[in-house]
């Protein structure tokens, strides 16, 4: 089922939830809505579900305009952050509830619920109540309830955020696998960029009610179109520093009071066209500590991540996050030299926050 | 799959809205009808009665047949030499019962019962609820026996044993007993609300304050009291209005006496004038004038409380919309 | 590391006073004592000097402010001792002698201070009282006059030292009876005393004087009480205090209900003492209870079981009706959007201000009219069970709707959304999903409604004249109206009979009633 959102605007009184959102989701696609809290992603999801009424714009499921279709008639399944399991019903009754409402025959209900429960690995829990289940089991029940009526579209509202880290990892894989197997168009709201990157076919990054970008994960990562996307996607986040780029002797140089960096031709070209400062972004993995480096800084703090160390280096007032191998034991307070991989830097217009390199 | 229904979307929308409104009104209907029949229409009737001279001598339930006398009842009321006294009696009664018992002692009892063994707290609260669930006749009988003259009165028996003089308490201190008798009933409402509010404070918060080094008393002062501000206001509001309209216990205890209107309150007057044959003839029209003023005071107070305590902030918008 | 220096400075977070010397502790104790004295004096003044006169202006004849004034003054010394002893209690278990010393010293100082005040203002033990202005003592022969105040009442009446008083008029008295008689006399009241002077029997009339004799000796009992009280306070385990306070507050009720229980098991009572027909202690009987089940009280014949059933069915039906009607309205107000929602919500609040009980007459007229409606009028009008039920349900609505709305407000929205997406209608969402989740609220409101229905009197009594629809409260009042003379012990037994089931119900229900705050009254804070 294709899901088409055209010029969707949702306001609550004067407060804007989403503004002028246009998004075309393909059949069977897994799309993540990514953004900080309050960015409008959940509002969009609930509007898709029919809980909220669009102020303007149109939503289509397939070719059918669903603006005025009641939630129950949209044939969607939804998994909530709190799971929203009915506490007074057993697991069986929870999963069977959508079927009961569709007046499906009792024996078919049983069959379907057992099928779904077995797929979800909760076949042995059908007589329990939600209160007696662990977080992961509740999650599976919620997923089962969403799937049992064979929905055209699956909606997820931060379904993993109440789980512990290890379980989140497992569920992440399971949901993705299930979605691919069933081929149900899915929309997944999250503020966790790792979740979005690992699960989604395409990610819609939102901020302040506006769509920032809608692209495949690796596109978003390597060719961010706005500074917000660049900063939000990727962990640890991209470092930003305000620089002036100038052309000298056919080469491009980005400089601040403390830094002076040579930029490669194709990336420097656009930036140099700007009068005054631009924002330069560089990812932590593109900075190395190296004796050959030309920028001197002092280590402020070292955070061991196990596989590598996350190091915060201060260069004057600027702070750069970078990843270093654990083999060298760095200490806070130590002076180091940094080497930037200038082939990977991004440049953004400080006013519009749009990328100078990758125009839409 | 249904075909797109473009073109009729505005119609669908308003049809959907209408359907959902009708649904909501359906939910409201039973309560709404009861409120209209037993609150709104009666208030309208009482307003109308207050401008007639309906009495038991010329009673008719046919509204059109009642004799219209304009504002004469209100005039009589204003010129009633005892109306002023009854008015201040009412203020006195509400003020003292409310502040001493319904709020202060209720708060103290709920604080005490939540700071002792849980089971013991339940026992004490169960005892405090007795006045409310005892039949008023028997409850008042108890208090009448309490303050009766020697040798029957319990208090006077104590006085006697202690070698102190005995008193006729009902004539010396009627108000003291009116306030206490009603206060002991009213206390349980606040007690239940406050106890429930205190118990609903997250345990983490209470433990945190102890870890931060506060004593039990400091915890009451700095954590519990600020957190139960809302129930305090609620009880204060709700009980003012309840006290304003309560009269059964006073009627049974003193019936407004002893003497002329010594413990008469406004709602009791409305009752006396209208229902009891105080002067041999129930003056329904005149009694209604008292009732109308009481309704007026009640509604004005309710509106003031709503504004002052911002109860309307509780009116959050529903977060499921009509499509 | 300089950060640590800047943030943490242990020396700065020490309490103000560290190791108080004994003098400092004493000063603090006295200070606390004095403050409490001042506060209570202020309260007493407020009651007797401000609030009382204000209400007197409105011609309210009350003695409440006087009683409060007296209470404040009575409590004044004890509150002061407690305040002072609170300092000493710090050392009770570590340094007992220091604690005792501190507490007793401050108590004595405060006692003296209060006494000086009482002396100066002729208050308390120095208050003027009826006196014959002679000192008396009890001897074998009678009350012997030990001393006579010069120029006083006794001297004027020519009493002499050594006289032995035997009687006032013709009533033989001992010293206690004499003093009681004296204390009840008014100023200038003549007391004709019979006494023996030597062997001679004489009579003199002494006129009572109201004087303050200001005998310092009179302070002694007060001082002893104060010191004993202080010692008790110093050693009182802190966890006992709430129990003592609770029992103290409950005393009047405990005594009252103790009496009512005694009364139902005896022929008659004087005070708390059950008496038989010859005015001797005893006279216990089960008759008051028996007659309830036999069904005959002073000639009034009845069968208690149908009455009990009526009570129960009124309470049960009303409970369910209130729950259904209020929860439906509460659901709509909490969860649905419709024109007029704000108005209905505010109106629910304002409804609290409607003195429902004063609307009895107009409701009577409404019910008479409803009776006239064809078909359904037979079931909902005046004198019908339906009509009574509706009125009672209506009166419970303002509280009910408000509480229910609060409980619905507290259910996560996702629950509702999930049900709607699963395909439920609003009615099913309400009935199948939300209602089961506000069970605590339903129970709490149900308990309120049940108690209200069980005790319902005014409405059934007013609107069911002569239908034989009587529940226990109505029956109780019939009993009072239709038997003469009213046997109050019998009435009390019926009252207790009505109380016992609901009390037991409450004991089990209290736990659930305490959930009431989970909804309803919760503010935006």
Question: For position A294, which CATH number holds?
Answer: 2.40.50.140
Residue C11 forms part of a structural domain: no
Range of the domain at C164: 129-211
C172 shares a domain with C320: no
Q: How confident is the model at residue C307 (pLDDT cuts 50, 70, 90)?
A: confident
pLDDT 10s digits, C263-276: 888 877 777 777 77
Domain edge (last residue) among C154, C186, C211: C211
Q: Could you tell me the pLDDT band of residue C439, with boundaries at 50, 70 and 90?
A: confident
Lowest-confidence pick of A2-11, B279-288, C100-109, C484-493: B279-288
Please answer yes or no on whether B320 and C507 come within 8 Å at the CB atom.
no
Looking at residue B13, what is its pLDDT?
Answer: 67
Query: Domains in chain A: how many in total?
Result: 2
Task: Check pLDDT > 70 for residue C22.
Answer: yes
User: Can you tell me the mean pLDDT for A249-270?
Assistant: 75
pLDDT tens per residue, range A31-54: 999 988 888 888 899 999 888 888
Residue C498 included in any domain: yes
Tell me how many domains chain C contains. 3
Of residues B314 and A156, the one with the higher pLDDT is A156
SS3 A320: strand
Is residue A136 within 8 angstroms of chain C, CB to CB? no
pLDDT band at C517 (very low <50, low <70, confident <90, very high): low
| C345 contacts on B by Cβ (under 8 Å) | 312, 314-315
State the nearest Cα–Cα gap between C352 and chain B, in angstroms: 7
Of the candidates C415, C417, C422, the beta carbon closest to that of A98 is on C422
pLDDT for the residue A193: 86
Q: Which of A61, A71, A102 to mutate to test the interface with C (most CBs of C within 10 A)?
A: A71
Tell which of A89, A101, A113, A158 to mutate to test the C interface (max C CBs under 10 Å).
Answer: A101
C71: in domain: yes
Supply the CATH number for residue C196's domain.
2.30.42.10
- pLDDT, residue C524, reads 34
pLDDT for residue C480: 77
Q: How confident is the model at residue A185 (pLDDT cuts 50, 70, 90)?
A: very high
Label residue C426 by pLDDT band (50, 70, 90).
Answer: confident
Q: Are residues C103 and C135 in the same domain?
A: no
> How high is the pLDDT of residue B56?
67
- The predicted structure's pLDDT at residue C520: 43
Looking at the fold, whether A168 and A315 belong to one and the same domain comes out as: no
Q: Report the pLDDT value the prediction gives residue C443, as an integer from 0 to 100.
A: 86
- Cβ A235 vs Cβ A68: under 8 Å: no
Selected residue with higher pLDDT from A9 and B12: A9
On whether residue C218 sits in a domain, the answer given is no
In chain C, which residues touch A (CB < 8 A)? 412, 414-415, 417-425, 428, 433, 436-437
Whether residues C158 and C76 share a domain: the answer is no
Are C69 and C204 found together in one domain? no
Residue A206 DSSP symbol: E
Q: Are residues A168 and A212 in the same domain?
A: yes
Residue C326 and residue C199 share a domain:
no
Residues A247 and A219 in one domain: no
DSSP E strand boundaries for A220-325 = 239-248, 251-255, 260-263, 277-282, 287-289, 295-304, 308-315, 318-325
What is the nearest CA distance from C335 to chain A, expressed in angstroms? 12
CATH number of the domain enclosing C476: 1.10.3720.10
Structural element, H or E, at residue C143: strand C143-148
Is position A356 within any domain?
no
User: Touching check for B11 and chain A: CB below 8 Å?
Assistant: no
Average pLDDT (C274-296) is: 75
- Asked whether residue A252 falls in the same domain as residue A210, the answer is no
> How far is it, in rounded angstroms, from Cα A94 to Cα A96?
5
The answer as to whether A135 is a domain residue is yes
Residues 65-124, chain A, touching B (beta carbon < 8 A) = 65, 67-70
| Residue C514 Cα, gap to closest chain B Cα (Å) | 5
CATH of the domain at A19: 3.40.50.300
Higher-pLDDT residue of C6, A109: A109
Q: Mean pLDDT of all residues in chain C?
A: 80
Task: Among C178, C211, C244, identify where a domain stops.
Answer: C211
Given an 8 Å threshold on Cβ–Cβ distance, is A82 in contact with C436?
A: no
Together in a domain, C133 and C121: no
* C155 assigned to some structural domain: yes
**Same domain membership, residue A143 and residue A37:** yes
Domain assignment of residue A57, yes or no:
yes
Q: For residues C117 and C137, state if they share a domain.
A: no
Shared-domain flag, residues A245 and A219: no
C143 plus C53 within the same structural domain? no
Token readout for B93 is 């009664």
Cα separation, C165 vs C179, whole angstroms: 12
Do A20 and A102 sit in the same domain of this protein? yes
* Mean pLDDT per 10-residue interval, chain B, length 323 residues: 46 73 86 87 84 72 72 77 83 89 90 86 86 83 81 78 76 84 88 85 78 78 80 82 82 77 80 63 76 84 76 62 61
C515 pLDDT above the threshold of 90 = no
Domain end among A230, A252, A282: A230
The rounded distance, in Å, linking the Cα atoms of C477 and C465 is 13
Instruction: Say what the pLDDT of residue C525 is.
Output: 31
Q: Which domain holds residue A216?
A: 3-230
Domain covering B88-281: architecture: Orthogonal Bundle (1.10)
How far is the C-alpha of A47 from the C-alpha of A54, rounded, in Å?
Answer: 6
Q: Which residues have a Cβ under 8 Å from the Cβ of C492 and sit 6 or more positions away?
A: B138, B141, C260, C263, C264, C288
Contact B323 A53 (CB under 8 A): yes
CA distance A98 to chain C (A): 5
Q: Same domain, yes or no, for C82 and C142? A: no
DSSP structure class, residue C429: I
Q: Are residues C117 and C204 in the same domain?
A: no
3-state SS, chain B, equals CCCCCCCCHHHHHHHHHHHHHHHHHHHHHHHHHHHHHHHHHHHHHHHHHCCECCCHHHCCCCHHHCCECCCHHHHHHHHCCCHHHHHHHHHHHHHHHHHHHHHHHHHHHHHHHHCCCHHHHHHHHHHHHHHHHCCHHHHHHHHHHHHCCCCCCHHHHHHHHCCCCCCCHHHHCHHHHHHHHHHHHHHHHHHHHHHHHHHCCCHHHHHHHHHCCCCHHHHHHHHHHHHCHHHHHHHHHHHHHHHHHCCHHHHHHCCCCCCCCCCCCHHHHHHHHHCCCCCCCCCHHHHHHHHHHHHHHHHHHHHHHHHHCCHHHHCCCCCCCCC
Percent of the residues in chain A that have a pLDDT greater than 90, as a whole number: 10
Domain end point (choices A176, A203, A230): A230
pLDDT bucket at A309, cuts 50 / 70 / 90: confident
Test the A interface: residue of C422, C426, C433 with most A CBs within 10 Å? C422
Which domain-ending residue is among C126, C149, C180? C126
CA distance B200 to chain C (A): 7
Query: How would you list the strands of the sheet with A308-315, edge to edge?
Result: A287-289, A335-340, A295-304, A308-315, A318-325
C219 belongs to a structural domain: no
Are C72 and C165 in a shared domain? no
Pick from A70-74, A257-261, B306-310 the range whose average pLDDT is largest.
A70-74
Among A208, A230, A252, the domain-final residue is A230
Instruction: Report whether pLDDT(C382) > 90.
Output: no
Asked if residues A148 and A96 have their Cβ atoms less than 8 Å apart, the reply is yes
Average pLDDT of span A305-318: 86
Residue A354 lies in a domain: no
Does residue A190 share a domain with residue A278?
no
Shortest alpha-carbon distance between residue A76 and chain C (Å) = 7
CB C119, CB C215: distance < 8 Å: no
Would residue C471 count as lying in a domain? yes
**Taking the model in full, what pTM does it have?**
0.79
Q: Is residue A146 a part of any domain in this protein?
A: yes
Do A336 and A327 form a contact (C-beta atoms < 8 A)? Answer: no
Identify whether A312 is part of a domain: yes
Count residue pairs from A and C with Cβ separation < 8 A: 60
- The dihedral sign for the CA sequence C424, C426, C432, C434: positive
Q: Is C214 left (phi over 0), alpha (psi -120 to 50) or beta?
A: left
Whether residues A302 and A160 fall in one domain? no
Please check whether residues A243 and A226 belong to one and the same domain: no
Give the mean model confidence (pLDDT) for residues C147-171: 79
List chain B domain ranges.
Answer: 88-281
Whether A226 and A243 map to the same domain: the answer is no
B323/A68 touch (CB, cutoff 8 Å), yes or no = yes
Q: How many angstroms separate the Cα of C2 from the Cα of each of C5, C8, C9, C11?
A: 5, 10, 12, 16
On whether both A298 and A207 belong to a single domain, the answer is no
Give CA–CA dist A85/C261, Å, rounded: 52
According to DSSP, the β-strands at A295-304 and A308-315 are antiparallel
Is residue C420 a part of any domain in this protein? yes
Question: Chain B residues with CB inside 8 Å of A63's CB?
Answer: 1, 3-4
| C55 shares its domain with C186 | no
């Amino acid at each position: 089922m294709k899901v088409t959102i055209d010029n969707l605007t949702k306001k609550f009184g004067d407060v804007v939830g989403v503004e002028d959102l246009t998004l075309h989701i393909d059949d069977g696609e897994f799309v993540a809505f990514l953004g900080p809290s309050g960015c409008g992603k959940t509002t969009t999801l609930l509007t898709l579900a029919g809980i909220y009424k669009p102020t303007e714009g149109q939503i289509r499921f397939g070719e059918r305009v669903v603006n005025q279709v009641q939630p129950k008639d949209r044939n969607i399944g939804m998994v909530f952050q709190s799971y929203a399991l009915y506490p007074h019903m057993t697991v069986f009754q929870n999963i069977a509830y959508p079927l009961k409402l569709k007046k499906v025959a009792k024996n078919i209900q049983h069959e379907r619920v057992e099928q779904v429960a077995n797929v979800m690995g909760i076949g042995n829990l059908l007589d329990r109540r939600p209160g007696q289940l662990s977080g992961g089991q509740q999650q599976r029940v919620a997923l089962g309830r969403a799937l049992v009526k064979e929905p055209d579209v699956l909606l997820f509202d931060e379904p993993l955020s109440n789980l512990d880290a290890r379980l989140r990892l497992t569920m992440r894989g399971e949901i993705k696998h299930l979605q691919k197997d069933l081929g149900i168009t899915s929309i997944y709201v999250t503020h966790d960029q790792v979740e979005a990157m690992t699960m989604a076919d395409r990610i819609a990054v939102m901020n302040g009610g506006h769509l920032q970008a809608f692209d495949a994960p690796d596109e978003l990562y390597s060719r961010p179109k706005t500074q917000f996307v660049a900063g939000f996607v990727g962990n640890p986040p991209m470092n930003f520093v305000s620089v002036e780029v100038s052309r000298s002797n056919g080469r491009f140089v980005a400089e601040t009071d403390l830094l002076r960096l040579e930029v490669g031709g194709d990336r420097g070209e656009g930036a140099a066209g700007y009068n005054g400062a631009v924002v330069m972004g560089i990812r932590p993995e593109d900075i190395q500590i190296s004796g050959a480096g030309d920028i001197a800084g002092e280590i402020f703090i070292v955070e061991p991540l196990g596989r590598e160390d996350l190091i915060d280096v201060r260069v004057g007032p600027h702070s750069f996050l970078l990843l270093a191998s654990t083999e060298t034991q760095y200490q806070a307070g130590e002076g180091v030299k940094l080497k930037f991989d200038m082939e990977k830097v991004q440049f953004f217009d400080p006013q519009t926050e749009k990328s100078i390199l990758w125009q839409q | 799959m249904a075909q797109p229904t473009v073109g009729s979307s505005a119609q669908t929308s308003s049809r959907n809205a209408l359907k959902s409104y009708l649904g909501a009104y359906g939910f409201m209907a039973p309560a709404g009808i009861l409120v209209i029949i037993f609150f709104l229409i009666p208030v309208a009737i009482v307003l109308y009665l207050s401008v007639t001279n309906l009495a038991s001598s010329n009673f008719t339930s046919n509204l059109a047949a009642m004799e219209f006398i304009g504002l004469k009842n209100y005039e009589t009321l204003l010129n009633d030499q005892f109306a002023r006294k009854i008015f201040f009696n009412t203020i006195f009664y509400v003020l003292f019962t409310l502040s001493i018992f319904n709020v202060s002692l209720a708060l103290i009892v709920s604080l005490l019962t939540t700071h002792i063994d849980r089971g013991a707290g339940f026992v004490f609260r169960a005892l405090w609820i007795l006045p409310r669930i005892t039949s008023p006749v028997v409850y008042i009988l108890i208090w009448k026996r309490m303050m009766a003259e020697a040798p029957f009165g319990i208090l006077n028996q104590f006085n006697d044993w202690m070698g102190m003089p005995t008193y006729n308490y009902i004539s010396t201190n009627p108000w003291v007993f009116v306030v206490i008798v009603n206060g002991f009933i009213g206390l349980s409402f606040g007690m239940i609300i406050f106890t429930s509010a205190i118990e609903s404070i997250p345990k983490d918060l209470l433990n945190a304050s102890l870890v931060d080094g506060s004593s039990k008393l400091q915890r009451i002062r700095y954590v519990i009291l600020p957190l139960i501000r809302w129930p305090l206001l609620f009880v204060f509001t709700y009980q003012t209005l309840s006290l304003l309209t309560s009269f059964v216990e006073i009627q049974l205890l003193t019936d407004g006496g002893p003497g002329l209107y010594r413990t008469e309150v406004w709602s009791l007057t409305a009752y006396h004038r209208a229902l009891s044959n105080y002067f041999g003839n129930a003056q329904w029209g005149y009694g209604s004038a008292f009732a109308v003023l009481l309704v007026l005071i009640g509604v004005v107070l309710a509106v003031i409380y709503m504004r002052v305590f911002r109860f309307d902030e509780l009116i959050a918008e529903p977060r499921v919309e009509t499509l | 590391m300089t950060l640590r220096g800047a943030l943490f400075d242990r020396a700065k977070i020490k309490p103000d006073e560290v190791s108080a010397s004994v003098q400092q502790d004493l000063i603090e104790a006295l200070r606390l004592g004095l403050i409490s004295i001042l506060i209570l004096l202020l309260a007493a003044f407020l009651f007797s000097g401000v609030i009382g006169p204000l209400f007197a202006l409105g011609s309210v004849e009350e003695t409440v402010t006087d009683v409060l004034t007296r209470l404040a003054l009575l409590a004044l010394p004890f509150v002061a001792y407690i305040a002072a002893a609170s300092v000493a209690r710090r050392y009770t278990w570590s340094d007992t002698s220091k604690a005792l010393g501190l507490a007793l010293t401050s108590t004595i100082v405060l006692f003296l201070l209060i006494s000086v005040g009482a002396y100066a203002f002729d208050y308390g033990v120095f208050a003027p009282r009826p006196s014959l202005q002679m000192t008396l003592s009890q001897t074998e022969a009678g009350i012997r006059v030990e001393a006579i105040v010069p120029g006083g009442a006794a001297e004027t009446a020519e009493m002499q030292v050594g006289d032995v008083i035997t009687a006032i008029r013709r009533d033989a008295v001992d010293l206690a009876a004499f003093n009681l008689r004296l204390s009840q006399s008014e100023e200038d009241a003549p007391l004709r005393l019979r006494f023996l002077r030597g062997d001679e029997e004489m009579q003199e009339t002494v006129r009572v004087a109201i004087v303050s004799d200001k005998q310092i000796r009179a302070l002694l009992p007060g001082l002893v009480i104060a010191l004993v009280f202080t010692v008790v306070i110093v050693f009182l385990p802190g966890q006992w205090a709430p129990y003592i306070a609770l029992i103290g507050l409950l005393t009047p009720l405990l005594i009252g209900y103790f009496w009512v229980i005694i009364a139902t098991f005896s022929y008659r009572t004087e005070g708390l003492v059950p008496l038989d027909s010859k005015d001797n202690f005893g006279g216990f009987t089960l008759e008051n209870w028996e007659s309830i089940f036999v069904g005959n009280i002073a000639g009034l014949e009845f069968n208690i079981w149908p009455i009990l059933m009526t009570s129960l069915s009124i309470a049960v039906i009303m409970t369910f009706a209130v729950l259904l009607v209020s929860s439906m309205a509460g659901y709509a107000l909490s969860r649905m959007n419709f024109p007029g929602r704000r108005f209905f919500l505010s109106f629910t609040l304002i409804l609290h201000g409607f003195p429902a009980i004063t609307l009895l007459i107009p409701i009577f007229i409404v019910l008479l009219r409803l009776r006239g409606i064809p078909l359904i009028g037979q079931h909902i009008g005046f004198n019908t069970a339906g009509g009574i039920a509706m009125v009672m349900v209506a009166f419970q609505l303002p509280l009910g709707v408000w509480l229910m709305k609060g409980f619905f407000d507290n259910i996560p929205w996702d629950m509702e959304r999930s049900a709607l997406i699963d395909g439920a209608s609003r009615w099913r969402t309400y009935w199948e999903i939300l209602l089961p989740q506000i069970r605590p609220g339903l129970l709490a409101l149900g308990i309120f409604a049940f108690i209200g229905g069980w005790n319902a009197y005014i409405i059934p009594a007013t609107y069911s004249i002569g239908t034989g629809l009587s529940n226990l409260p109505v029956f109780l009042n019939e009993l009072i109206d239709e038997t003469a003379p009213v046997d109050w012990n019998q009435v009390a037994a019926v009252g207790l009979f009505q109380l016992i089931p609901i009390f037991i119900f409450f004991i089990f229900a209290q736990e659930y009633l305490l959930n009431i705050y989970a909804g309803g009254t919760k503010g935006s804070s």
